[in-house]
């Protein structure tokens, strides 16, 4: 018996959502059955997040009806959505870093005992019961800031499940995971649906989607293109990508070769703390060097120290043979280093500012660094920024659109556009295509290739194995905070990378 027998638990019918200057959803219909995993795929800007925000009550539809468990609603509020048992786990982190997992799960709804005192033991017992039911293995007494990204994701899922959810929306749940942790999430989804909870699963990892989905719906430009029965786990990937972009698309972009010159950027004896291992490596002009390793291996910590985002205990950094003094991000920017961070919303953008203002955030200061205290008219730079918007195919009704209203993939393109306008020499890409679709990835890769053709160099951190393999000229494996091996040529393959990252045989 399939979970799609009978009447759907949820049916969003004829949903239209209009924003000023853009129609995000056009007469869209989407349904979910009890105990079903229904995957939703599409390019960034296709309308996936808008549809889910309508379901969670964050947005009000322009028109349409939401049928839920025999009742009809013209729109939902966040409180009503939660009361119906609809929970959403966002890809961005919304946990309190200084609190432990148990405290985060119960924040705002703490259990109390006689006298009004918080029942810490009772809350811990409830969390352990839930962990046991769904076979989640984390230490719930650890503070969030001490947890790996994957364990933080499990905390967010536990928090949603604790609210007795009937529909769980999972937005890019494995975007920052290695292969092993991604597999744990897929097993967790199977366990959740086996308990009769419905899962709406949004992901750009199409192989993952085919593994987990009972049905797959593809949307493009706010419309449903196709819904596929995936009971046999056999929907072809090229069918999904064709539906997503409106034409056949290669799954992985192959980097065009570029001329690799002399050493351009060099890191010598970098230590993050007194007791941490030292890190040394170099990058040549026109080269992309990948930093690969398991989540938590120290890749991001290394590049953050290089760019001045985090302090370093010791070590020297050189650009074109000249020793750099980098104490903070401003120093690294002035030295010619661009850092495209993994957290675009918190560290890469001013979400309430316009696309134009965000794109000028760094470059305007760089190009006018000698003119202190001068106010600039951003609109006078609209022409070059419009050119970058068109080159990166950023979907926005105008340059004045606030970044917060763009899809995740288009936000990431604005971050890249900001650095393209600044015209740096060394580009650090930390998880550059996290949470963006295959077509948007290709645009990113083309720009990375163009940067190397122009004589720049790139350091890339990525958990996306095909991306790492196809884009890197060399790969440095990071394990326990140090570079343990270097891969070149035919050594750059999935088996070798995983073996070296794990430190086995």
pLDDT interval class at 162 (50, 70, 90): very high
Residues 417 and 387: beta-carbon distance below 8 Å: no
CA distances (Å), origin 140, targets 95, 103, 135, 309, 333: 13, 9, 13, 29, 39
Asked if pLDDT for residue 292 goes beyond 70, the answer is yes
- What is the fold, at CATH topology level, of the domain defined by 10-245? Rossmann fold (3.40.50)
d(CA 248, CA 245): 8
Tell me: the pLDDT tens digits for 231-258? 989 999 888 878 887 766 555 566 778 8
Bridge-partner residues for 266, per DSSP?
A: 282, 318
The predicted pLDDT at position 370 comes to 43
Residues 277 and 467: beta-carbon distance below 8 Å: no
Asked if pLDDT for residue 1 goes beyond 50, the answer is no
Tell me: the pLDDT tens digits for 412-433? 889 999 999 989 999 999 988 8
The predicted pLDDT at position 301 comes to 92
Lowest model confidence (mean pLDDT) among 71-75, 235-239, 406-410, 467-471: 406-410
CATH number of 271-336+424-505: 3.40.50.300
Average pLDDT over residues 296-311: 90
Asked, colleague to colleague, whether 10-245 and 271-336+424-505 share their fold, the answer is: yes
Q: How far is CA 168 from the centre of its chain?
A: 19
Lowest model confidence (mean pLDDT) among 126-140, 253-267, 317-331, 369-383: 369-383
**Mean predicted lDDT score pLDDT of the chain:** 88
Q: What is the Cα Rg of the chain in Å? A: 24
d(CA 103, CA 158): 12
d(CA 26, CA 200): 20
Tell me: the pLDDT tens digits for 170-227? 988 876 666 677 788 899 999 999 999 999 999 878 888 999 999 999 998 899 999 9
Bridge-partner residues for 228, per DSSP?
A: 216
More confident residue, 294 or 50: 50
Lowest model confidence (mean pLDDT) among 50-59, 124-133, 235-244, 354-363: 235-244
Domain ranges (residues) in the chain: 10-245, 271-336+424-505, 350-407+417-423
Residues 175 and 434: beta-carbon distance below 8 Å: yes
Classify residue 117 by burial, with Cβ atoms within 10 Å: 0-12, 13-18, 19+.
Answer: exposed
d(CA 14, CA 53): 16
Average pLDDT over residues 488-505: 81
d(CA 240, CA 40): 11
Lowest model confidence (mean pLDDT) among 70-74, 165-169, 347-351: 347-351
Query: Which token pair is 305?
Result: 């120290």
Residue 195 CB partners (closer than 8 Å, separation 6+): 35, 133, 134
Lowest model confidence (mean pLDDT) among 52-56, 266-270, 408-412, 419-423: 408-412
Residues 166 and 86: beta-carbon distance below 8 Å: yes
Helix (H, G, I), strand (E, B) or coil at 314: strand
Asked if pLDDT for residue 365 goes beyond 80, the answer is no
Query: Which token pair is 92?
Result: 């961005």
Residue 497: how many CB atoms within 10 A of its CB?
22
More confident residue, 17 or 498: 17
Query: Which token pair is 152?
Result: 């933080």
Residue with tokens 């924003």: 19
Asked if pLDDT for residue 481 goes beyond 70, the answer is yes
The percent of residues above 90 in pLDDT, for the chain, comes to 59
Residue 329: how many CB atoms within 10 A of its CB?
18
The percent of residues above 70 in pLDDT, for the chain, comes to 92
Average pLDDT over residues 260-284: 95
The predicted pLDDT at position 67 comes to 97
Lowest model confidence (mean pLDDT) among 136-145, 267-276, 290-299, 326-335: 290-299
Average pLDDT over residues 135-155: 89
Most confident of 58-67, 174-183, 353-362, 463-472: 58-67
Provide the terminal-to-terminal Cα distance of the chain, rounded to the nearest Å. Answer: 44
pLDDT interval class at 30 (50, 70, 90): very high
Helix (H, G, I), strand (E, B) or coil at 223: strand
């Amino acid at each position: 018996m399939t979970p799609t027998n009978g009447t759907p638990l949820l049916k969003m019918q004829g949903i239209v959502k209009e924003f000023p200057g853009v129609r995000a959803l056009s007469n869209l219909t989407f349904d979910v059955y009890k105990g079903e995993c229904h995957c939703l795929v599409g390019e960034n800007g296709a309308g996936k997040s808008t549809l889910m925000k309508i379901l969670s009550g964050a947005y009000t539809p322009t028109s349409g009806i939401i049928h839920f468990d025999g009742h009809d609603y013209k729109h939902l509020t966040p409180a009503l959505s939660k009361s119906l048992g609809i929970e959403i786990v966002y890809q961005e982190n919304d946990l309190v870093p200084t609190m432990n997992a148990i405290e985060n799960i119960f924040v705002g709804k703490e259990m109390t005992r006689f006298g009004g005192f918080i029942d810490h033991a009772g809350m811990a017992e409830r969390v352990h019961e839930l962990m046991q039911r769904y076979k989640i293995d984390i230490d719930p007494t650890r503070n969030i800031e001490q947890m790996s990204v994957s364990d933080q994701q499990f905390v967010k899922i536990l928090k949603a499940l604790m609210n007795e959810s009937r529909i769980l929306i999972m937005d890019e749940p494995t975007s920052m995971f290695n292969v092993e942790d991604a597999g744990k999430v897929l097993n967790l989804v199977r366990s959740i649906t086996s308990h009769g909870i419905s899962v709406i699963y949004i992901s750009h990892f199409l192989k993952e989607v085919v593994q987990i989905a009972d049905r797959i719906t593809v949307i493009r430009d706010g419309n449903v293109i196709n819904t596929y029965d995936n009971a046999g786990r056999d929907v072809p990937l090229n069918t999904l990508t064709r539906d997503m972009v409106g034409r056949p698309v290669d799954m992985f972009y192959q980097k065009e070769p570029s001329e690799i010159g002399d050493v351009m950027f060099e890191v010598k004896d970098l230590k993050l703390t007194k007791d941490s291992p030292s890190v040394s490596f170099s990058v040549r002009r026109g080269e992309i060097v990948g930093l690969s390793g398991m989540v938590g291996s120290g890749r991001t910590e290394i590049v953050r120290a290089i760019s001045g985002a985090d302090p370093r205990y010791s070590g020297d950094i050189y650009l074109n043979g000249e020793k750099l003094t980098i104490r903070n991000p401003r120093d690294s920017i002035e030295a010619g280093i661009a850092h495209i961070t993994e957290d675009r919303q918190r560290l890469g953008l001013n979400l309430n500012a316009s696309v134009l203002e965000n794109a000028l955030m760094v470059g305007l200061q760089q190009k006018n660094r000698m003119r202190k205290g001068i106010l600039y008219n951003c609109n006078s730079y609209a022409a070059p920024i419009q050119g970058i918007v068109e080159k990166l195919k950023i979907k926005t009704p105008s340059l004045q659109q606030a970044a917060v209203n763009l899809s995740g993939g288009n936000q990431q393109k604005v971050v890249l556009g900001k650095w393209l306008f600044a015209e740096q020499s060394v580009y650090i890409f930390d998880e550059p295509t996290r949470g963006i679709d295959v077509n948007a990835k290709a645009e990113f890769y083309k720009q990375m290739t163009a940067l190397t053709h122009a004589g720049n160099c790139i350091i890339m951190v990525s958990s996306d194995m095909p991306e790492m393999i196809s884009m890197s000229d060399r790969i440095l494996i990071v394990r326990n905070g140090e570079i343990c091996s270097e891969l070149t040529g035919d050594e750059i393959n999935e088996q070798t990378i995983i073996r070296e990252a794990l430190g086995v045989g």
